Amino acid sequence: MKRLSIYIHIPFCIKKCKYCDFLSYCATQGEQESYVALLLTEIEKQAFFYQDFQVISVFIGGGTPSVLEGKAIEVILRKLKERFNFIKSPEITIEVNPGTVTEDKLELYLRTGINRLSIGLQTADDNELMTLGRIHDYNTFLCTYELARKLGFRNINVDLISAIPGQTYLSHRETLKKVLSLEPEHISAYSLILEEGTWFYEHSAELTFHTEEEEIRLYKLTEEMLSECNYNRYEISNYAQKGFECIHNKTYWLRGNYVGFGLGAASLVDEVRWNNKRTVKEYEKALRKKSEHNEQPISPDSLSKARTQFGENVQYLTIEEQMEEFMFLGLRLMERKEKKAFKIKFGLDIEDIYGETLGRLQNEALIISDEQVRLTPLGIDVSNYVMSKFLLS
C-alpha cells in the first residue's frame, strides 16, 4: 500500500501572535464545536478515496489545537482510525502552547495515541515573548514541559524563533542553553519572517528588525550550540536527537502523499496539489454540496476529482513542476541520495535537466554535487537564492 500523512488544521487560538500569518482566529465554544463537526464530515466523506493508502503520521496543527476540549481531539482521532488504514505505530503529533494544556488533557492525548508534542516556546526571554505577543512566560512553558515528561511523553519538539526585535546574541544564547538543558528530542529553529497581514508588518516602522548579517549570526549560533549537544541538523531549520527526525515533516520535503483536513489545509496526493476553502462559510458550503462521486471503483482521473471536490486551487503537476519541487524541497534536507532518487523518479539523469545549474552553483560554492546534491554552509545562508535556480520556467 502507498504511504500517507494526514494533517488536521485547528484554526483557533486564544490570541493572535504579532508575527503570525497562519489561518487562525479566536472563537467561541459553540464555533469550535461546529467546526469540529464539519471536520468530521470532511473526514467521513473523503476517507473512501484513500483505501489504498496506509497512514504513517498525523499532525494536528493550527492555530493552537490545544485550546480545543480534549474530548474533541479524541473524537477526531477516533474518526481517523475508524476510516483510514494505519500502520502499527504511526507518529501522531499535536501542537500545544504553554498554558493551554492541563494534566487531564495531556493524559487524554496519550490515551488516544498521540505520541509526539510540539510545544511553542519561541524564546525563553519573557520580554521577547511579550514582543511576539505570546500568551505565556518561560515559567509557564517549563511547567508544561515538565508535566508532559512526568506523564510519559518521550518525543517532544520545542519551537524557537530567532531575530526577534530586541533580541540579542546573548539573550538567544541563553534561550538555547535553557532549552538544551531540558534535552527535548527535537528542536525547530526558525528566523522571524515579516509576513504581510501581521501586526509586525503593519507596525514595521515602529520596530527595529535584525539585518541579514545579524540573522545569520544568530542562526549560526543555533547550529553550533545544537551540534555540540549532538542534535543532527537534518533540515535547514530542524534538529533532532538520533532517531527522532519528524516523520510527518519529512513527508512534505520528500514530496510524499499527504492530505489535509480543515480550513485552508493543503494536500499533495498522486501528483495533484490543492487546498481547502479558507473561510468557514465556504468550507461548510463545499461540504454540504452533494458529492458527485459514489463509493464505488472509479478511474484514476475521477479519483483525483473526488479527492479535490471540496477544495480549490487544484493543480495537476506537470513533469517539469514535479522536477522543480523535487529539487527545491529536497534541498532543504541535509542528506538525500538526490541523483539516484531523481533517476528512479523521472527516468533521467539529474545532469540531463540541471547540469548547467549544478555546475554554476558548485562553482559558486553554494552546493556540493557528487552522489548527492546538497547545500554548503554558504548555500544554506542563501538557500532561497539557490532553490530559485532550479525553477525550469
> What is the pLDDT at residue 372?
87
CB 219 within 8 A of CB 236: no
Neighbouring residues of 109: CB distance < 8 A, sequence distance ≥ 6: 70, 73, 94, 117
Give per-residue burial for 299-314: e unless 16+ CB within 10 Å, then b.
eeeebbbbbbbbbeee
Residue by residue, pLDDT tens for the chain (393 residues) are 899 999 999 999 998 898 998 889 898 999 999 999 999 999 999 999 999 999 999 999 999 999 999 999 999 999 999 999 999 999 999 999 999 999 999 999 999 999 999 999 999 999 999 999 999 999 999 999 999 999 999 999 999 999 999 999 999 999 999 999 999 999 999 999 999 999 998 998 889 999 999 999 999 999 999 999 999 999 999 999 999 999 999 999 999 999 999 999 999 999 999 999 999 999 999 998 766 666 666 777 788 888 999 999 999 999 999 999 999 999 999 886 678 899 999 999 999 999 999 999 999 999 998 888 999 999 999 999 999 999 986
> What is the pLDDT at residue 388?
94
Give the distance, in angstroms, between the CA of residue 80 and the centroid of all CA atoms in the same chain: 19
Dig out the grid coordinates for 269 from the structure. 496526493
> What is the pLDDT at residue 290?
66
> What is the pLDDT at residue 376?
93
Rounded distance, CA 199 to CA 263, Å?
Answer: 22
Q: Is the pTM of the predicted complex or chain greater than 0.85?
A: yes
Place of cell 539557490: 386
> What is the pLDDT at residue 337?
66
Dig out the grid coordinates for 325 from the structure. 519541487
Dig out the grid coordinates for 18 from the structure. 504579532
Q: Which residues pair with 367 in a beta bridge?
A: 375
CB 194 within 8 A of CB 208: no
Rounded distance, CA 322 to CA 346, Å?
Answer: 9
Neighbouring residues of 355: CB distance < 8 A, sequence distance ≥ 6: none
Q: Which of 352, 333, 330, 332 is nearest to 341 (CA)?
A: 330
Phi, psi of 106 (to 5 degrees): -65, -40
Using CA atoms, how far residue 307 sits from 83, 125, 319, in Å, is 15, 45, 21
The secondary structure of 180-220, three-state, reads HHHCCCEEEEEECCCCCCCHHHHCHHHCCCCCHHHHHHHHH
> What is the pLDDT at residue 217?
95
